[in-house]
């Protein structure tokens, strides 16, 4: 029996990078899958890859209207929902606060927190009753940047720390019917997190930033000496989403390839050091 046999799973932000890898793994584990993605070109790629096997909807996690339309589509097609997996996110370019233009702070904060945090909260609110009917699960994406400095800039790191708190509080509020957990990835090969429009970086992908020497040093520093693909993280999300997980709620699993198990002295991005949490989900 596969982990997600007889499960209906929704992945928000499932059009590329981590979210797409999670969607592929959930399918491989037997789930019926729905994906929400904001970018039209990514929606086209999803349709080309999955066809009618997956319920694919274009929408914005910041929009209650879009989420409610997605809810109606899931109920019409599947009749239920067993797991909500949140994978959407925006990176902040690792910009130090002192170099952030004061007149951009409001828009930068709102953009990152609305996507990285509010989108998870709205999704949980819209789908809570469906999940409760089936003793379901919520799995949200934090980051090792929530645990250690220099895994991103201030705004990204703070937003991922907030996700940890969201996991804790929702696990308390939704118990015992819904299990709520998080995953805090570290390195991800081919991460597709984009930069914020508030800084004019909306066309810059995080995967465009690291260079080969950076990746080589990352592999050298990580005890497992491996930069995982999105699909490799997918099984962890699948397990937490599965009804086989009867043990855990309110936990955020740090998936860091062993980085936090050793002392790493980082000179930070200014001097070309390797931050512990960079290239995160």
Question: Which residues carry out catalysis?
Answer: 156
Cα gap 84→273, rounded to integer Å: 36
State how far the Cα of 253 lies from the Cα of 245, in Å rounded to an integer: 13
Side-chain half-sphere of 279: how many Cα atoms within 13 Å? 25
Q: Are strands 55-58 and 83-86 parallel, antiparallel or unpaired?
A: unpaired
Place of tokens 């512990």: 276
- 234 φ, ψ to 5°? -60, -35
Are 35 and 55 within 8 A, CB to CB? Answer: yes
Is the CB of residue 136 less than 8 Å from the CB of residue 178? yes
Query: Within 13 Å and on the Cβ side, how many CA atoms surround 1?
Result: 9
User: DSSP assignment of 245-275, as one string?
Assistant: --S-SS-EEEE-TTGGGS-----TGGGT---
Residue 57 backbone phi and psi in degrees, to 5: -135, 135
277 backbone dihedrals φ, ψ, rounded to 5°? -100, 10
Query: What is the C-alpha to C-alpha distance for residues 97 and 14, in angstroms, rounded to an integer?
Result: 30
């Amino acid at each position: 029996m596969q982990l997600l046999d007889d499960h209906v799973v929704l992945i928000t932000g499932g059009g590329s990078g981590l979210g797409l890898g999670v969607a592929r793994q959930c399918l491989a584990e037997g789930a019926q899958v729905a994906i929400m993605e904001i970018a039209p070109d990514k929606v086209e790629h999803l349709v080309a890859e999955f066809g009618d096997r997956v319920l694919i909807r274009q929408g914005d996690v910041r929009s209650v209207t879009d989420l409610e339309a997605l809810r109606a589509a899931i109920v019409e097609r599947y009749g239920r929902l067993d797991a909500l997996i949140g994978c959407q996110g925006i990176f902040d370019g690792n910009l130090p606060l002192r170099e952030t233009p004061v007149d951009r702070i409001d828009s930068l904060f709102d953009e990152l927190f609305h996507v990285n945090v509010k989108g998870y909260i709205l999704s949980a609110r819209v789908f809570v009753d469906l999940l409760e009917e089936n003793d379901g699960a919520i799995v949200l994406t934090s980051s090792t940047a929530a645990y250690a400095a220099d895994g991103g800039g201030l705004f990204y790191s703070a937003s991922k720390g907030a996700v940890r708190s969201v996991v804790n509080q929702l696990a308390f509020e939704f118990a015992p019917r819904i299990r709520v957990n998080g995953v805090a990835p570290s390195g991800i090969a081919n991460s597709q997190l984009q930069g914020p429009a508030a800084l004019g970086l909306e066309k810059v992908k995080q995967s465009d930033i690291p260079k080969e020497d950076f990746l080589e040093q990352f592999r050298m520093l990580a005890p497992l000496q491996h930069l995982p693909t999105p699909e490799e993280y997918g099984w962890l999300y699948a397990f937490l989403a599965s009804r086989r997980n009867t043990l855990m709620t309110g936990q955020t699993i740090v998936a860091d390839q062993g980085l936090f198990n050793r002392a790493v002295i980082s000179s930070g991005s200014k001097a070309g050091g390797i931050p512990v949490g960079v290239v995160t989900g």
